[in-house]
């Protein structure tokens, strides 16, 4: 892991985001309510930049007509197709299905028992050192050169 200084902490206040390129990777650093998080800026669905996505909250429901809104500003919605990712873990809450008519088995389960989406946005450790935001990224491997490449 290599540590990279992204910016002074005061330059990334709560609600702000900064896109940087570290070790050849586009990484989106966000300040959510004073906590810093870093995500690979490539949506695992079809590759959109997540930097233009809106931060929203989580809507959960135990039954039709009953819902709770929580975690305001902690869910990042992809600007292309709206998949949502937990900024803290990178986990997706979406599992798109194919468009077709088919019979499916039906069961009743609590919301908390449902499986989370199969796609996860890659996250990176973020810390504050002497008031600077620091992101740790695995060092990029240098491509092996062919014999003719010198």
Q: Report in angstroms how near the CB of residue 13 gets to ligand FES at its nearest.
A: 26
* CB closer to ligand FES, 38 vs 43: 43
* CB closer to ligand FES, 93 vs 132: 93
Cα end-to-end span (Å), the chain: 28
- Looking up tokens 């468009």, which residue turns up? 99
Q: Report in angstroms how near the CB of residue 42 gets to ligand FES at its nearest.
A: 9
Q: Report in angstroms how near the CB of residue 39 gets to ligand FES at its nearest.
A: 12
Q: What does the binding site for ligand FES look like in residue numbers (CB under 6 A)?
A: 43, 45-48, 78, 80-81, 83
* CB closer to ligand FES, 36 vs 83: 83
Total count of residues recorded for the chain: 150
Using DSSP bridges, classify how beta strands 17-22 and 35-40 pair: parallel, antiparallel or unpaired: unpaired
3-state secondary structure string, 85-122? Answer: EECCCCEECCCCCCCCCCCCCCCCCCHHHCCCCCCECC
């Amino acid at each position: 892991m290599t540590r990279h200084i992204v910016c002074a902490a005061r330059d990334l206040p709560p609600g702000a985001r900064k896109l940087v390129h570290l070790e050849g990777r586009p990484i989106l650093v966000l300040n959510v309510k004073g906590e810093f998080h870093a995500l690979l800026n490539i949506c695992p669905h079809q590759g959109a930049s997540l930097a233009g996505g809106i931060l929203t909250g989580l809507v959960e429901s135990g039954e039709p007509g009953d819902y709770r809104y929580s975690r305001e500003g902690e869910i990042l919605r992809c600007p292309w197709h709206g998949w949502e990712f937990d900024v803290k873990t990178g986990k997706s809450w979406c599992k798109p299905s194919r468009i077709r008519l088919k019979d499916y088995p039906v069961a009743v389960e609590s919301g908390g028992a449902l499986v989370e989406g199969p796609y996860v946005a890659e996250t990176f450790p973020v810390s504050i050192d002497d008031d600077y935001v620091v992101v740790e990224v695995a060092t990029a491997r240098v491509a092996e050169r062919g014999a003719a490449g010198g």
